[in-house]
């Protein structure tokens, strides 16, 4: 088996009546790519609370990745949105793709209330801006399947020394936004480039930068 450290990069299948999920489209474009001495393994997770967690656990066990980056669609957001925190909560506004609608249940019973991303989010933000891509730090990944997977990734590697994890939400694709008057969007090539920049920065940055990116709301 290859000794090249692996990056587990996940996207989701379409949900909420969409026929495409930009997270999977962007993530799969990077599958197999070698960056900074690491190899990217892309995986599509179902937009299901239980199913996604099962598949994530198996992938982490089999791949022993050094870096985990989850990616999900956040329709309505206008830029790449680097998540700072994931909470131990499932509160679904719409049923998931397996028709589950958990309300106020933990992702992992008995586990901590929240985890901060262990990727260098400020350095990633600065690198995206420097490369001409709009990006922000987000302080909530929501309470649906994306937060669920962001939390699970951080929980699964919390005790694994040197293994880091985080999550990025991305806007609609232009074709999706075209069906929703006034919705912001980002081209697939820009999203994929942004993910690659974020990963390269994570590999090159063991300690995050101190850079203000707070919000008043």
Mind telling me the catalytic residues? 83, 146, 169
Residue 172 binds ligand PCA (CB under 6 A):
no
CA distances from residue 88 to 106, 118, 147, 164 in whole angstroms, order as listed: 5, 16, 8, 18
Could you tell me which stretch among 69-77, 124-132, 187-195, 199-207 binds ligand PCA (CB under 6 A)?
A: 69-77
CB nearer to ligand PCA: give 21 or 117: 21
CB nearer to ligand PCA: give 5 or 174: 174
Residue 74 binds ligand PCA (CB under 6 A):
yes
How many CB atoms lie under 10 A from the CB of residue 183? 16
Q: Which residues are 114's β-sheet partners? A: 87
Per CB under 6 A, contacts with ligand PCA among 38-57 are 47
Residue 15 binds ligand PCA (CB under 6 A):
yes
Q: Which of 9, 10, 21, 127 binds ligand PCA (CB under 6 A)?
A: 21
CB of 35 to ligand PCA, least distance (A): 23
Residue 102 binds ligand PCA (CB under 6 A):
no
CB of 137 to ligand PCA, least distance (A): 16
Could you tell me which stretch among 115-123, 141-149, 176-184, 199-207 binds ligand PCA (CB under 6 A)?
A: 141-149
Q: Which of 68, 82, 125, 145 binds ligand PCA (CB under 6 A)?
A: 145
CA distances from residue 5 to 35, 54, 64, 68, 69 in whole angstroms, order as listed: 10, 22, 8, 11, 14
Residue 23 binds ligand PCA (CB under 6 A):
yes
Pairing of the two strands 6-12 and 34-35: unpaired
Residue 107's Cβ-count burial label (10 Å; 0-12, 13-18, 19+) is buried
Residue 144 binds ligand PCA (CB under 6 A):
yes
Residues that bind ligand PCA in the complex, under the rule CB under 6 A? 12, 15, 21, 23, 47, 72-74, 142, 144-146
């Amino acid at each position: 088996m290859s000794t090249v450290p692996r990056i587990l990069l996940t996207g989701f299948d379409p949900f909420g009546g969409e026929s495409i999920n930009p997270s999977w489209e962007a993530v799969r474009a990077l599958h197999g790519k070698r960056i900074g001495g690491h190899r990217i393994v892309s995986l599509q997770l179902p937009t299901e609370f239980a199913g996604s967690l099962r598949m994530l656990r198996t992938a982490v066990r089999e791949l022993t990745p050094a870096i985990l980056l989850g990616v999900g669609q956040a329709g309505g957001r206008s830029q790449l949105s680097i998540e700072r925190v994931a909470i131990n909560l499932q509160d679904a506004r719409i049923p998931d793709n397996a028709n589950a609608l958990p309300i106020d249940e933990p992702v992992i019973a008995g586990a901590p209330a929240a985890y901060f991303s262990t990727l260098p989010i400020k350095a990633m933000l600065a690198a995206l801006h420097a490369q001409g891509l709009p990006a922000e730090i987000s302080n909530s990944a929501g309470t649906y399947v994306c937060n669920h997977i962001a939390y699970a990734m951080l929980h699964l590697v919390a005790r694994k020394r040197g293994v880091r994890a985080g999550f990025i939400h991305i806007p609609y694709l232009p074709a999706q936004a075209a069906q929703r008057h006034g919705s912001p969007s980002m081209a697939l090539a820009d999203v994929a480039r942004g993910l690659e920049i974020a990963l390269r920065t994570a590999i090159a940055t063991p300690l995050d930068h101190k850079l203000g990116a707070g919000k008043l709301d």
